[in-house]
Amino acid sequence: MNDKPQFVYVIYIRATAEKLWRALIDPEFTRQYWAGTWQESDWKVGAPWRIMIPDGRIADAGEIVEIEPPRRLVLTWRNEFRPELRKEGYSRLTYQLEQQGDMVKLSLTHEIDRPESNLIEAVAQGWPAILSSLKSLLETGESLEATRRWPENMK
Amino acid sequence: MSRPKFVYVIYIASTPDKVFRALTSTEMSKQYWSDNYVESDWKVGSPFALKLARHEKQDITGEVLECDPPRRLAYTFHPHHGGMEAEGASRVVFEIESLGDQVKLTVTHDGFQEGSKVFEAISQGWPHVLSSLKSYLESGKGITAPWYRDDAKQVAGPAR
């Protein structure tokens, strides 16, 4: 049995897979529901990938492992702005999108190859808020207010 | 090996009162729980039922363990269909926290036996129901995934 640190989250969003895919990677969308951040990448296998904090720092960075729009995206992910998390090295994030009628089942798995991980604990707190806000944005046109800006207490 | 436990957190643009009402009202639950609905007088010790539109006389039953509107609700949970009737009751706890103009809803479902079929079923079910609850409270319309409707057809069909 796999007992490595792992966070799994499933959410259903009334949208097309194409629209949701765009919302996951396009800065115009992510700035609205992902704490003001945006991602930079060429979105090709092997290409570098990073999340930018509005103040210019890099939040997380890694490399694209698999990309199959609008169904599957796998990337490596290392925290870059909190030294105690950065030293854990690379984790792995998988998004899986399945169109089901007029909604998409979005499954996210964030895992790391270590016996214990503060990174996975930290992202396990963050993902439900980010993905809840993404769902609100796509279904109602408005993200959740608390996720629209980088939190002031997060240095 | 530790016993399985299911935890799910979702944030909803709503108020604790509305979320609590949606979890306890028969009429509101029909709107997001794929035509299933809850029934109880919500007094501690009273019976709880989740009436399943697709399983006549095979409702999920239980007992109200805690009811502290609009913050906390807990009941036992015992399905009687799909080979799950032999397992004992498990436990569901809803915690509602107000955070500015949104609500953080945490659902914790535990108390399963090892290798529990109920655990497998609810791990599929809660993300679906709670996604729909959020859609219903924010946009007025719940969601039901095709797989849930297909399951329902099979169960209701003459083959059974």
Whether residue A124 lies inside any domain: the answer is yes
The domain of B89 spans 6-156
**How many domains does one find in chain B?**
1
Q: Given B9, B128, B135, which is nearest A128 (Cβ)?
A: B9
CA angle A109, B5, B23 (to 5 degrees): 95
Among B53, B11, B12, B57, residue whose Cα is nearest residue B29: B53
**Distance between CA atoms of residues B32 and A93, nearest Å:** 30
**How many domains does one find in chain A?**
1
Interchain CB distance below 8 Å, B139 and A103: no
The domain of A78 spans 6-140
Long-range CB pairs of A68-74 (<8 Å, 24+ gap) are A69/A18, A69/A21, A70/A16, A70/A17, A70/A18, A70/A20, A70/A21, A70/A97, A71/A17, A71/A96, A71/A97, A71/A98, A72/A96, A72/A97, A73/A21, A73/A24, A73/A25
In tens, the pLDDT along A53-100 reads 999 999 999 999 999 999 999 999 999 999 999 999 999 999 999 999
**A145 neighbors A136 (Cβ within 8 angstroms):** no
The rounded Cα A10 to chain-centroid distance in angstroms is 13
In sequence order, the 6+-apart residues with CB closer than 8 A to the CB of B47 are B40, B61, B62, B63, B64
Whether residue B1 lies inside any domain: the answer is no
Distances (CA, A) of B110 to A38, A53, B74: 37, 38, 11
Residue corresponding to tokens 């997060």: A154
Q: Given B13, B138, B145, which is nearest A12 (Cβ)?
A: B145
Residue corresponding to tokens 């105690």: A84
* CATH number (domain holding residue B76): 3.30.530.20
Q: What is the pTM of this model?
A: 0.95
When computed from its CA atoms, the radius of gyration of chain A, rounded to whole angstroms, is 15
* CATH number (domain holding residue A72): 3.30.530.20
**A103 neighbors A120 (Cβ within 8 angstroms):** no
Which residues in chain B have Cβ-Cβ distances shorter than 8 Å to A102? 143
- Closest chain A residue to B99 measured between Cα atoms? A146
In tens, the pLDDT along A110-151 reads 999 999 999 999 999 999 999 999 999 999 999 999 999 998
SS3 A49: strand
**Per-residue pLDDT, A51:** 98
Q: Given A101, A140, A146, which is nearest B99 (Cβ)?
A: A146
Q: What is the dihedral of CA B85, B86, B87, B89, to 10 degrees?
A: 50
Among A5, A147, A151, residue whose Cα is nearest residue A88: A5
**Distance between CA atoms of residues B29 and A124, nearest Å:** 28
Going by the DSSP 8-state scheme, the letter that residue B4 receives in this structure is: P
**A127 neighbors A9 (Cβ within 8 angstroms):** yes
In tens, the pLDDT along B73-131 reads 999 999 999 889 999 999 999 999 999 999 999 999 999 999 999 999 999 999 999 99
Task: Show the tokens assigned to B51.
Answer: 């009436």
In tens, the pLDDT along A41-62 reads 999 999 999 999 999 999 999 9
Closest-CA distance, A10 to chain B, in angstroms, reads: 6
N-terminal to C-terminal alpha carbon distance within chain B: 36
Whether residue A78 lies inside any domain: the answer is yes
Closest-CA distance, B27 to chain A, in angstroms, reads: 22
What b/e sequence results for A28-60 when a residue is b if at least 16 CB atoms lie within 10 Å of its CB, and e otherwise? ebbbbbbbbbbbebeeeeeeebbbbbeeeeebb
Whether residue B13 lies inside any domain: the answer is yes
Q: What is the DSSP string of B108-145?
A: EEE-PPTT-HHHHHHHHHHHHHHHHHHHHHHHS-----
**Distance between CA atoms of residues A4 and B103, nearest Å:** 31
Interchain CB distance below 8 Å, B13 and A135: no
Task: Show the tokens assigned to B26.
Answer: 């028969």
- State the complex-level ipTM: 0.96
Which residues in chain A have Cβ-Cβ distances shorter than 8 Å to B100? 145-146
Task: Show the tokens assigned to B125.
Answer: 């079910």
Whether residue A34 lies inside any domain: the answer is yes
**Per-residue pLDDT, B49:** 97
